[in-house]
Structure 1
Amino acid sequence: MTSSALVQTRIDPEVKERAAAVLEAVGLTVSDAVRILLTRTANEGALPFELVDPIKQDAWFRAKVLEALADPRPAIPHDEVKARFAERRRTALEAEAAKEP
């Protein structure tokens, strides 16, 4: 595949220099990094990383764990959980197979 499209962007020169130094340490150029980002975004249909605040994500996760630990419902035995997911997987595979021509 030939590279013929030109992408230009404006960025703080100091940010570009710091990024270039990091990329150079792993054998990449800024152009390489942009090419990788755009190729993965196009191929995966989304950014290849999440744009989340790790502190907020951690707080959310901790809250969910505490919520789960405080859940008064009885625990489900491991074998039953495995059986439920096996059934869900079987149903999903059958539905997908029914779609195929």
Structure 2
Amino acid sequence: MKKYLFFLLIGLIALGCSTDDDATDAVFVLYNQTYCSDPWESIDDNRELVDKISTYFASENIAISNLKIDDKGTPEACFGCGCLTGKRIILKVNKNDLDAIMAYGFQEYK
């Protein structure tokens, strides 16, 4: 009986470790934040910005995940609305929503 339980346990573990087919259906995208031309409200606090972006794309029916903000972009010396702040918005989106999110200025990020 212990032998069967052992093989059953090994089988369940093997099934649990199978590859996730849905993982290949998502891609990372990147957006360089502007001072005030973004479709969501520009906010300095990254936590609030994450909430604003998440809420915005939920209202647009674009599912996003793994949203991160970093300061690794190149800020521009101007302060016009279209000038870049140096913040980069990186997130994951389903391949089916790639064209929709690229219409907002995102680009594929690898």
TM-score bracket, normalised by the shorter chain, equals: under 0.3
Normalised by the size of structure 2, how large is the TM-score? 0.23
Asked which structure has the greater CA Rg, the reply is 1
Normalised by the size of structure 1, how large is the TM-score? 0.25
Greater RCO structure (CA 8 Å; 6+ sep): 2
Per residue, is there more helix in 1 or in 2? 1
Per residue, is there more strand in 1 or in 2? 2
